[in-house]
Amino acid sequence: MLPLICDLPAARRVSGHGSHSSTYLCSECYITLKDINNLDRDKWPPRNLCDHHKFADMWKNAATKAEQDRIFSTHGIRWSELLRLPYWDPTKHVIIDAMHCFYLRLFFRHVREIWGMDVTVADGDGSKPPVPTSLEKDVMENADHILRNGTQPGPEAAAKPFFNNMYKTASDSKVKRLRKAVLVAFCAVLQPEEAPVNKRSATLKKVLGKQTLAAIRDDMTKLGLPSWATRAPRHPGEVKWGNFKADEWRSFCTVNLPITLTRLWGSKPRDDRHHQMLLNYMELVAAVKIANSRTITEDKIALYDKHMLAYLKGIRELYPFVDLSPYQHLSMHFSAQLRRFGPTHSWRCYAFERYNGIIQKIATNDTLG
C-alpha cells in the first residue's frame, strides 16, 4: 500500500491528520486556517515524517484522553495504524482526490458559492457577497430561536448545514466552549431583518441568473456531444433537478459554461468586470483539464501551477469578500502529487465511488452477522 485514496474527511481520519476545517488544515504543510488566503509557497512550512511520528507517538502514549486532546489541539496529529508500515509517509501519501477536489469542490464552489446560480433571480456581476434566500433567512431565525429558548420552533429548523456554516472557520472545540449568551449575541449581529438585503426581490442577484442561464440552456440544446461524454442536467439552476454528480460538473463547467460565457462576455472590453470574471474562470478550467490529462510531463505540471495560482489570485482580487477554501489551498499541492504518482486516472476516486454505489444498491435485511 502506498497512496491513501479516499475523500478528504475519510483521508484525514485514516491518516491521523486533523480535519480540513481544523487549525492545521493541510496534510502537506503547516499553514493554519487563519492564513489560508496566503498564496506565497515560501511561507508554507512543509510537514516532515520525523515530526509526524514524534507527535503521533506522543498522542498514542498519552496517559489520559485530556492529554491526547491537548496534543492533538497543539499539533493536529493523532496515531494511525498505517504508521506501522515503515515505508508509508503521511506527509506525502495522502491523496488529494481529483474527482472530489476539482469537480465536486472547486467547480461547485465557484459556480454555486462565489457566482451563485438560480433561474429565479436576475443576473449580477458578482461584486457583492451572495444574498441569503428566504430559506436561509428562515433557518437563521430558527437558529436564533433555538439558542434563546433551547427548543426548535418547528421541523423545518432541522436544516443544520446553513447554521453550521456560520462558524465553519472555527474548530468544534472552540464553538463548544462558547457560552449561550455569546452565541445569542452572535446571532443578533446576523439577524436577517437587520441586514441591508431586506428587500430580496430588488437586491437578490447572482452571476448565473435567469438571463445567463437561459442563454446556457439554449446553447445546450444546440450542442452535439460524443456518445461517451456525460451531459450536464438540462435545467441548471433549478432546485427540483437536484445536485450535479461529478461528471455532470465536469461537462457543465468545462464545456457548457466556456461556450456560452465566452459568447456573452468574451467580446466585452478587457477592463469590463464580466470579461475579467471570464478570464479568471478559464484559468480554473485550464488548470483542471491539465491536472486530469491522460499523460503528464514536467512542462504540464508547471503550466498547471501557473494557471491555478493565477486563478486563486484572481479570486482574491475579484471577490475580496471570499476566503479561500481548504480544497483551494490543497489544489496548490496537487502538482507535487502529479510528480509522485503520474496521471490521475489510476489514483482518483471514480472507480471506487462507482463500486460504493453498486454495493449500496444490494438488497439486504439490515441485520448484521
> For the segment 233-276, what is each residue's pLDDT rounded down to a tens digit?
888 988 776 789 999 999 999 999 999 999 999 999 999 999 99
| Integer Cα distance of 102 and 99 in angstroms | 6
Nearest to 208 by CA among 133, 277, 289: 277
Q: Say what the pLDDT of residue 103 is.
A: 94
Residue 112 within a domain: yes
| Interval 150-176 mean pLDDT | 46
Average pLDDT, the chain: 84
Question: Using one digit for the tens of pLDDT, what is the confidence trace for 287-344?
Answer: 999 999 999 999 999 999 999 999 999 999 999 999 999 999 999 999 999 999 999 9
| Residue where a domain terminates, one of 203, 230, 256 | 203
Confidence label for 144 from pLDDT (cuts 50, 70 and 90): low
pLDDT at 182 over 80: no
Q: Say what the pLDDT of residue 195 is.
A: 39
pTM above 0.75, yes or no: yes
Residues 280 and 230 reside in one and the same domain: yes
Q: Say what the pLDDT of residue 33 is.
A: 93
Residue 354 within a domain: no
| Integer Cα distance of 262 and 267 in angstroms | 8
Residues 106 and 246 reside in one and the same domain: yes
Q: Say what the pLDDT of residue 201 is.
A: 44
Nearest to 212 by CA among 260, 258, 149: 260
Q: Say what the pLDDT of residue 170 is.
A: 45
DSSP three-state, residue 229: coil
Beta bridge partners of 4: 94
Q: Say what the pLDDT of residue 164 is.
A: 46
Residues 184 and 304 reside in one and the same domain: no
| Interval 67-71 mean pLDDT | 96
pLDDT at 232 over 80: yes
Residues 230 and 142 reside in one and the same domain: no
Confidence label for 158 from pLDDT (cuts 50, 70 and 90): very low
Residue 334 within a domain: yes
pLDDT at 60 over 90: yes
Confidence label for 206 from pLDDT (cuts 50, 70 and 90): very high
Lowest mean pLDDT across 4-8, 37-41, 68-72, 302-306: 4-8
State the DSSP string of 41-82.
Answer: GGGSPBP-HHHHHHHHHHHHT-SSHHHHHHHHHHH-B---GG
Residue 365 within a domain: no
pLDDT at 209 over 80: yes
Residues 188 and 42 reside in one and the same domain: no
pLDDT at 94 over 50: yes
Lowest mean pLDDT across 39-48, 124-133, 193-202: 193-202
Q: Range of 16's domain?
A: 8-95
Q: Say what the pLDDT of residue 20 is.
A: 86
Residues 76 and 86 reside in one and the same domain: yes
Split into its structural domains, the chain has a count of 3
Residue 74 within a domain: yes
Residue 356 within a domain: no
Residues 299 and 341 reside in one and the same domain: yes
Residues 166 and 301 reside in one and the same domain: no
Q: Say what the pLDDT of residue 143 is.
A: 58
Residue 1 within a domain: no
Residue 364 within a domain: no
| Interval 140-159 mean pLDDT | 50
CA dihedral 350, 351, 354, 355 (to 10 degrees): -150
Up-side HSE of residue 159: CA atoms within 13 Å toward CB? 13
Confidence label for 356 from pLDDT (cuts 50, 70 and 90): confident
pLDDT at 140 over 70: no
Residues 89 and 147 reside in one and the same domain: no
Residues 298 and 220 reside in one and the same domain: yes
Q: Say what the pLDDT of residue 299 is.
A: 98
Q: Say what the pLDDT of residue 175 is.
A: 52
pLDDT at 145 over 80: no
Residues 119 and 237 reside in one and the same domain: yes
Better-scored residue on pLDDT, 65 or 178: 65
Residues 121 and 172 reside in one and the same domain: no
